[in-house]
DNA sequence: GCAATACGTTAGCGAGCACTAACGTATTTG
DNA sequence: CAAATACGTTAGTGCTCGCTAACGTATTGC
């Protein structure tokens, strides 16, 4: 399985996840939000699916994609693992400095 | 300036940020933690610097790298912007499901 | 049954990425 | 001053990425 963070970092896939988080959509609906080809969207969806972030349900001749909450949970866990207390402390310091200026 | 999230997503650069968050280090010290060449580390540091995440201070013949709190702050903001309430809600649902099982 | 629709798949391309090897440049050490 | 150290830089390589164009396959509507 692909690294969720690497999969979600790509700008187009970020937007796809945003769209699908709001509501489940078909491939054509998603592609309508982009300037790139539907084929490109299909491939992005494949990557997101391999990362366990989305899933497709076949309904008639269209496939409805939705996010997988468990995948987002793993993504969040990965971000949390990266965002250690040291990093937190540094960001807090930055806030303090900004407050002082 | 480079997108902080894209810069920080790469696994090697993730580790570099972790190391530098703990303490400022020289290039050789950082490279010692990796199997790749020092040259590769230099180039990763360049990317991180262009993303505004790290900074170098020249001390004698060595350069001491440290993280820039402001850069981490922007990175955190970018993650927060991605992590909308819709995504949060879905993750909460996943937690609930997990609690039920 | 036949055209249209919705989608996956594949080949191929250009660009960028991560990396190594080699070299160049300050700076320190002896 | 010469060797060693610490680092940047650059050319070149293999690989991956994002993308398009083209084609194949179900499914629906007429």
In chain B, the domains with their CATH numbers are 4-100 (1.10.10.10)
Q: What pLDDT is stored for residue A55 in this prediction?
A: 97
Tens digits of per-residue pLDDT, A54-86? 999 999 999 999 999 999 999 999 998 888 776
Minimum Cα–Cα distance from B23: chain A residue? A86
Residue nearest to nucleotide C10 (CA to C1'): A39
Task: Give, as ranges, the nucleotides of chain D with any atom within 7 Å of a protein CB.
Answer: 5-10, 17-22, 26-28
- To the nearest whole angstrom, how far is the Cα of A70 from the nearest Cα of chain B? 6
- In this prediction, residue B5 has a pLDDT band, given cuts at 50, 70 and 90, of very high
Q: Between these two residues, A63 and B1, which has the higher pLDDT value? A: A63
Nucleotide nearest to A42 (CA to C1'): C8
Whether residue B100 is predicted with pLDDT greater than 60 in this model: the reply is no
Would you say B54 and B71 are in contact if contact means Cβ atoms under 8 Å apart? yes
The distance (Å) linking the CA of B61 with the C1' of C25 is: 11
- Please count the other Cβ atoms lying within 10 Å of the Cβ belonging to residue A45: 22
Among A8-12, A43-47, B50-54, B93-97, the range scoring the smallest mean pLDDT is B93-97
Q: What pLDDT is stored for residue B101 in this prediction?
A: 38
């Amino acid at each position: 399985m692909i690294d969720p963070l690497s999969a979600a970092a790509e700008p187009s896939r970020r937007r796809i996840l945003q769209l699908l988080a709001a509501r489940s959509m078909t491939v054509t609906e998603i592609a309508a939000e982009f300037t790139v080809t539907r084929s490109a969207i299909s491939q992005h969806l494949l990557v997101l699916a391999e990362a366990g972030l989305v899933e497709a349900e076949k309904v008639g001749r269209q496939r409805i994609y939705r996010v997988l909450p468990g995948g987002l949970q793993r993504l969040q866990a990965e971000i949390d693992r990266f965002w250690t207390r040291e990093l937190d402390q540094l960001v807090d310091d930055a806030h303090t400095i900004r407050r002082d200026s």
